[in-house]
Structure 1
Amino acid sequence: MHAATVSRFGGPEAVEITEVPVPVPGPGQVRIKVAAAALNPVDAAMRSGVFGGEGERIGLGWDVAGTIDAVGPGAGARPGDRVIGMSTGHRTPLGTHAEYVVLDTEAVAPAPASLDDAHAATLPLNTLSADQSLALLALRPGQSLLITGAAGAVGAHAVELAHLRGLVVTALASPADEEFLRSRGADHFLPRGEKPAPGGWDGVLDAAQLGDDASAAVRDGGAHVGLWPGREPAPGRGIRVGALDVRADAERLAALSRLADRGEVLARVAATYPLAEAAAAHARLAEGGLRGRIVLVP
């Protein structure tokens, strides 16, 4: 079968389509025939060597939508089930940008019945990242939350989920995104480029990596969560500072899938590319300006 991999670090040109064996599911695992797989910034980071692995053959892709076609012992799943899932391994030889992928059952959930495969494939990493970031913040209903980069894939889902949790949400993004973000649950809007008021919020989810500027917006004793471990601002003023280390969670992913079916979580596809054109897809991702995810289709 074919898979997108890298054996050297670099720009989009480093992405190769290679021939690899079809994987076999082990105990507690399922094999998914990939119908669609989203391309995320973490894939660009892996391609460029952020996570190391020089000289290794590294598979790309974290998100997947498709159909179970084989199960390992004790998997508790059925061939033919339509699912979404997330691979969280860094530097694994095979990711989801492939024709088949094997995942643990704890990383797989039923796909939203109302969405096509391309849209469903955008959900796992981004919705779980938003959901787990909000859990780290541990804010109570009625408390205030600033979300930077709110129009991005993680940020927009964070707006939706924070609204459902009863938080008072301020979205920071381009002025062109204000109407969209208010429609997804933002109570207030802050244009990108305008510095957040110091100490103005109980918590900040810093999806745009503003760092110290975002941390300064947190009140004394509040909470700050970013999306990249190791890039957290220095703690101070009693602020809890954390960074997301996203993990697979079948139960939460199933709940998020149901929210998508109810229209409370919106899947956005910016463009689709054939798997064979993965390098071109990486090049488009690098250009920026996307609203939604690029999706690869085998």
Structure 2
Amino acid sequence: MRAVVVDEPGGPDAAVLVEVAVPEPGPGQVRIRVRAAAVNPVDGFVRSGAATAAGLVVPRDRLGLGWDVAGEIDAIGDGVAGFAVGDAVIGLADRLDVPTAAYAEWIVLDADAVAPAPAGWSAVEAATLPLNALTAAQALDVLDLVAGSTALVTGAAGAVGGYAVELAVAAGLRVVAVAGADDEKLVRSLGAERFVPRDAERLGAAVRAQVPGGVDGVLDAAVVGVAAHDALRGGGAFVSVHLGSAPPPLRGSRVTRVAVRADGRRLRQLSELAAAGRLTARVADVLPLAQAAEAHRRLADGGLRGRLVLTP
């Protein structure tokens, strides 16, 4: 099969297309014929060698790329229940230390990392859901705010932030969104009640002008850090989705970093929300698998709204 891998870490051209054997599912696993795989910042982190340099991956001759997958099950290992060959599914490949991953024609995943694809969504749309929506959902779970609470979401126009806004609203939270001035209409359409431009001179003061006393929780999808924490009330909760950056727990706050993990049960819930129209697919563009390097260049250039998606 064809797969995009990294043999020599470096720039976008380090994402190379190779021929490898089709993987076989073991006990508790399913094999998915990949129809679409989203391109995420973590893929560039692996491709560049930064993940290895940070000690998150053992040095290897080859690393696979790609976390998000949408496709159909075409083989099932022993002990798997609840799935059948031909099922349209989505899944999350959350391990960095693998020789091939979602940028491929086939992928093998543990069955508990897989969920039915959202009805009514194309494979390209469905491929944008797992990593970003699970990150947002798991961060909101850690915030643990009750309905009616206020939540500040930074990077609200981004892939994680956009899903965070919609999921927070679905949970009954009142969302204050931080994004570029041109994105106010978008984030309000996702359900944000209030908006603060990201270039506000003092973010905390700008938020507190709209929410006296500060918000109850902050989901920092844009890695704003202490400036976003300043918008938090004393004793509030702050969650960063970036492992390397979080402010200290000032004023009795609870500060947590969240690393996404595969969770088929939670992913099934998100798929159902998507099918019900409660989550919005945002696809920036679609490219063939052979143009993975070009997709990485475009991602590095920035300015995308939604995800680039590769199709084998």
Give the alignment's TM-score, normalised by structure 2: 0.93
For 2:225, the aligned partner's letter is G
Residue matched to 2:263: 249
1:60-89 deviations in whole A, cap 9, x for unaligned? Answer: 000000000000001122110010000000
Partner of 1:237, secondary structure, is: helix
Deviation at 1:178, TM superposition (A): 1.0
Deviation at 1:131, TM superposition (A): 0.4
1:94 and 2:100 aligned: yes
1:120-146 deviations in whole A, cap 9, x for unaligned? Answer: 100011110100000011111111111
Deviation at 1:223, TM superposition (A): 0.8
Q: Structure 1: which 5+ runs fail to align?
A: none
Task: Please give the residue correspondences for 1:51-90 in structure 2 after superposition, counting only pairs within 5 Å.
Answer: 51-52=51-52, 53-76=58-81, 77-90=83-96
- CA-based RMSD of the aligned residues comes to 1.1
Deviation at 1:55, TM superposition (A): 4.2
Contact 1:8 1:55 in 2 (8 A): no
Aligned equivalents of 1:230 and 1:283: distance in 2? 23
Aligned equivalents of 2:246 and 2:197: distance in 1? 23
Contact 1:58 1:92 in 2 (8 A): yes
Deviation at 1:176, TM superposition (A): 1.3
Deviation at 1:197, TM superposition (A): 2.3
Shift >4 Å, 4+ stretches: none
Residue matched to 2:203: 196
Give the alignment's TM-score, normalised by structure 1: 0.98
Contact 1:229 1:244 in 2 (8 A): yes
Aligned equivalents of 1:55 and 1:245: distance in 2? 22
Q: Structure 2: which 5+ runs fail to align?
A: 53-57, 206-212
Aligned equivalents of 2:221 and 2:11: distance in 1? 23
1:94-124 deviations in whole A, cap 9, x for unaligned? Answer: 1100000000110100001201110010001
Residue matched to 1:14: 14
* Greater shift in the superposed pair: 28-37 or 54-63: 54-63
For 1:39, the aligned partner's letter is V
- Residue identity over aligned pairs, in percent, reads 54
1:4 and 2:19 aligned: no
Residue matched to 1:232: 246
Aligned equivalents of 2:21 and 2:69: distance in 1? 19
Task: Please give the residue correspondences for 1:18-167 in structure 2 after superposition, counting only pairs within 5 Å.
Answer: 18-52=18-52, 53-76=58-81, 77-167=83-173
Aligned equivalents of 1:230 and 1:113: distance in 2? 36
Contact 1:51 1:91 in 2 (8 A): no
Contact 1:32 1:69 in 2 (8 A): yes
